[in-house]
Chain A
Amino acid sequence: MSISAPAPPRVDPGLSAEASRANEESRITDNALIDCDIHNAIQSPETIRKYLSPRWRTHHETYGVRNFSGSYYPRAVPNAARHDSWPPSGLPPGGDLAFMQEQLLDAWGFEYGILNCLSGGGGERNLEFGAAFASAVNDWQIAEWIEPEPRLKASLVIPYEAGDLAAKEIERIGDHPGYVQVLLVARTSEPMGRRKYWPIYEAACRHDLPIGVHFGGAGGHPITGSGWPSHYVEDHGGMPQAFQPQITSLVMEGVFERFPELKIVLIEGGCAWLPSLMWRLDRSWELMRSEVPDVKRPPSEYIRKHIWTTTQPVEEPDRPEHFHQLLRQMDMNDRLMFATDYPHWDFDAPTSTFPNDLNKDLRRDIFAGNAKRLYNLA
């Protein structure tokens, strides 16, 4: 992990650069690679206005987007992006498809990539406008990303604080073959197991779409249960402490009983905190399950059954054997999915993310197999 990307595989002088790269890749990744977290950027305010109705175009021009102010921690670098991910075209990192194809998809040989657009309008407080904006983003993604590049699939964005409007958007576009997931964020305005979000889960299940819960968001509360931190590192490094109450809420509100087909993907939260959370949830449920009689199974069972997680930013114990133990403690080998988080600064590269002695079958599952099964990719 570094501000600039680690180097792609070394070039063998006897081969072309491209062939060399492909050789190295196949040695390490056995030829199949899927990136489960790529961020396509909206190039400018005009980009989305093209897809808005006149009424909302004027609204956007006049009043702009209005989120929960006072909750922003400036990223360590502009756009939180790798230095080398600024396209020569002048477009923002992640905003230039041709450059993304070259720097990410072609360079590493990804078979598929999943786009998670972080400007989807879910944090917009004017809920009707948020719904219109989300529809526009979804139309933009189809036209300018999914259709031109068959390797790219995407999460559909929704006005997640308005359950009814969000369900409507899932109905409208959820069957488009380019959309493989519905996008939520870690910091919603209420814990995400609460009933206001149930229409989203109902619609997602009906369309056989998992819910991706991505790092970030701003729901109107401090990012800790004890007020506002001061530094970006506490915001960035503190996101697991937002994911944890979300998982607790989904479990304890009985969401997995109510929606037995629901699949949740944790994106960009890391994963090493999962075992201790499962232990804490199981013991607490044993002690106080009388408060939540709808929760019929131990929490860890629900977690292992309904929850997937991308690996980035993967935690890095000093000792490699601890990483293997962590995987055993998690016992979610069929739920781990590789992600780069391109173009962000904490990019995980396929060649340098995991210990070299990771089991070959597990490596294959993490790099492609698990994602192919979850997202029904050919």
Chain B
Amino acid sequence: MIDSDVHNELPKLKTLLPYLGEQWQVYLNESAFRGTGADDYPANSPVAAREGSRPESGPPGSDIDLLRTYVFDKMGADLAILNCGFRPGSVHNQDLAADLATAVNNWQTEQWLDKDERFRASIIVSNQNPLRSAAEIDRIGNHPGFVQVVVPVRGDAPYGNLRYDPLFEAATRHNLPILIAFGGAPGLPPTATGWPSTYVEEYVDAGAIFQSQVNSLIFEGAFDRFPTLRIVLSESGWTWMPSLMWRMDKEWKGLRRDTPWVKRRPSEYMREHIRLTTAPTDRPSPERANELTEMIDYLGSDQMLLFASDYPHWHGEEPTAWMSDLSDELKSRLTHTNAAEFYGLEVSTTA
């Protein structure tokens, strides 16, 4: 079993001090800089931590032993793909952002990848600067423990925008997918209509941003300029995907004159290039359980879903709860084969 979304978090900002040069060590110690300020999961909110995931000190996800006990022992995963939630994209100082990314990746190497061969990890980049991001990918992209590059779903431009080409070029040259992860704080409002009042709204509204990113990647031609580009969307809720397929296929029929590089139906690009992690799975109430089965059918592919626990986050139920009605064949695909194929992983399974 592969758990495709597990969060390894910094115990505190100053954990990075040994991984930073002198200028930033002074800065971290003497300035008012306290971190990226993305606040993707309010510390005491229900979603921030499943039961038993809060360490004695440090945020949920910062304790490697607690994490391993849950992911490997309790859930039975053979391999976990780490997705660190540190967000250099929220730091306006681009030199600082890029150097923080380097420091975090070196910390991930030493404190996670070197400590357990069952971990794989995501390369953190300062997504607001695609050139520096590419440099970081070139620096560390050959390390076998890193299996993808992670950017937050809230960036300062949709990810199909041509400005990201250097980032995609480096990632695809290293054969690394791009993980687009819930969260981020670029300074732009989180919706097309401004700033919502509550966290629960922002949480729900993130689904729409994932949809916008899919539209952008396809219609800006990212998959045509980079035919090997692979995208993973984590914590998106995923059940919005079929309606997006229907809508954008229809848009393409009427408007394709103006985006001629989009040579196939958008839904074909989605099935080929995009994967979706399953925590959370936004699903109907129990009396409508069959509608989830219908939604899975509408994807038109049994390869799109990647099982995830999203440890330590809590979305209201155990990460396997939504899967009880699935066929064994589909369960096997999404708990193992889909991720193994998409990431090119060889895993000896216990189940």
| Chain A residues packing against B (C-beta within 8 Å) | 1-3, 76, 186-194, 219-234, 236-238, 240-242, 244-246, 248-249, 252-253, 270, 272-273, 275-292, 313, 315-317, 322, 325, 328-329, 345-346
13 contacts between A and B (CB under 8 A): A188-B194, A189-B193, A221-B189, A221-B192, A229-B219, A270-B247, A280-B204, A280-B240, A283-B283, A284-B203, A287-B314, A325-B291, A346-B254
Confirm or deny: B102 has a beta carbon within 8 angstroms of a beta carbon on chain A.
no
Which B236-260 residues have C-beta < 8 A from chain A?
237, 239-240, 242-244, 246-255, 257-259
**Chain B contacts of A242 at CB under 8 A?**
191-193, 208
Closest to B192 in A: A242
Known contacts A232-B255, A317-B246, A241 near B212 by CB under 8 Å: yes
Confirm or deny: B347 has a beta carbon within 8 angstroms of a beta carbon on chain A.
no
The answer to whether B192 and A223 have CB atoms under 8 Å apart is yes
Q: Which of A1, A222, A245, A253 contacts B253 (CB 8 A)?
A: A1
The answer to whether B316 and A224 have CB atoms under 8 Å apart is no
The answer to whether B209 and A241 have CB atoms under 8 Å apart is yes
> In the complex the two chains form, what is the Cα distance from A281 to B197 in whole Å?
15
> In the complex the two chains form, what is the Cα distance from A231 to B215 in whole Å?
10
The answer to whether B197 and A191 have CB atoms under 8 Å apart is yes
> In the complex the two chains form, what is the Cα distance from A315 to B251 in whole Å?
10
> In the complex the two chains form, what is the Cα distance from A233 to B192 in whole Å?
16
The answer to whether A226 and B212 have CB atoms under 8 Å apart is yes
- How close is B302's CB to chain A, nearest CB, in angstroms? 17
**Chain B contacts of A227 at CB under 8 A?**
155-158, 161, 186, 188
**Chain A contacts of B195 at CB under 8 A?**
190-191
Known contacts A227-B186, A249-B201, A277 near B248 by CB under 8 Å: no
> In the complex the two chains form, what is the Cα distance from A191 to B282 in whole Å?
22
Known contacts A225-B192, A229-B216, A248-B196, A316 near B157 by CB under 8 Å: no
Which B88-106 residues have C-beta < 8 A from chain A?
none
Known contacts A190-B193, A240-B247, A225 near B209 by CB under 8 Å: yes
The answer to whether A288 and B247 have CB atoms under 8 Å apart is no
Known contacts A192-B193, A221-B188, A230 near B243 by CB under 8 Å: no
The answer to whether A187 and B192 have CB atoms under 8 Å apart is yes
Closest to B154 in A: A226
Q: Which of A191, A252, A276 contacts B193 (CB 8 A)?
A: A191
**Chain B contacts of A244 at CB under 8 A?**
205, 207-208
**Chain A contacts of B216 at CB under 8 A?**
224, 229-230, 234
Confirm or deny: B315 has a beta carbon within 8 angstroms of a beta carbon on chain A.
yes
- How close is B223's CB to chain A, nearest CB, in angstroms? 15
- How close is A113's CB to chain B, nearest CB, in angstroms? 23
- How close is A37's CB to chain B, nearest CB, in angstroms? 17
Residue among A3, A248, A292 having the largest count of chain B Cβ atoms under 10 Å? A248
**Chain A contacts of B243 at CB under 8 A?**
240, 270, 272-273, 275-276, 315
Residue among B195, B240, B252 having the largest count of chain A Cβ atoms under 10 Å? B240
The answer to whether B193 and A229 have CB atoms under 8 Å apart is no
- How close is B142's CB to chain A, nearest CB, in angstroms? 29
Contact size class for B?
35 or more
The answer to whether B194 and A76 have CB atoms under 8 Å apart is no
**Chain B contacts of A194 at CB under 8 A?**
197
By Cβ-Cβ distance, the 10 closest A-B pairs, closest first, are A224-B212, A237-B251, A245-B191, A272-B243, A242-B192, A241-B208, A280-B282, A225-B209, A315-B246, A227-B157
The answer to whether A225 and B204 have CB atoms under 8 Å apart is no
The answer to whether B211 and A226 have CB atoms under 8 Å apart is no
| Chain B residues packing against A (C-beta within 8 Å) | 45-47, 153-162, 184, 186, 188-201, 203-209, 211-213, 215-216, 219-220, 237, 239-240, 242-244, 246-255, 257-259, 280, 282-285, 288, 291, 294-295, 298, 314-316
**Chain B contacts of A278 at CB under 8 A?**
284
Closest to B288 in A: A329
> In the complex the two chains form, what is the Cα distance from A125 to B278 in whole Å?
43
Known contacts A221-B192, A275-B291, A286-B316, A226 near B155 by CB under 8 Å: yes
Closest to B246 in A: A315
Closest to A275 in B: B291
Closest to B209 in A: A225
**Chain B contacts of A346 at CB under 8 A?**
254
Q: Which of B161, B188, B203, B215 contacts A225 (CB 8 A)?
A: B188
The answer to whether B294 and A329 have CB atoms under 8 Å apart is yes
> In the complex the two chains form, what is the Cα distance from A270 to B190 in whole Å?
22
The answer to whether B215 and A230 have CB atoms under 8 Å apart is no
Residue among A237, A253, A273, A277 having the largest count of chain B Cβ atoms under 10 Å? A237
**Chain B contacts of A249 at CB under 8 A?**
193, 196-197, 201
- How close is A247's CB to chain B, nearest CB, in angstroms? 9
**Chain B contacts of A292 at CB under 8 A?**
198, 200
The answer to whether B246 and A316 have CB atoms under 8 Å apart is yes
The answer to whether B250 and A313 have CB atoms under 8 Å apart is yes
Residue among B197, B249, B258 having the largest count of chain A Cβ atoms under 10 Å? B197
Closest to B156 in A: A227
Contacts A244-B207, A285-B200 known; list 5 others, CB within 8 Å: A190-B195, A222-B192, A224-B208, A226-B155, A252-B204
**Chain A contacts of B204 at CB under 8 A?**
245, 248, 252, 280-281, 284
**Chain A contacts of B280 at CB under 8 A?**
283
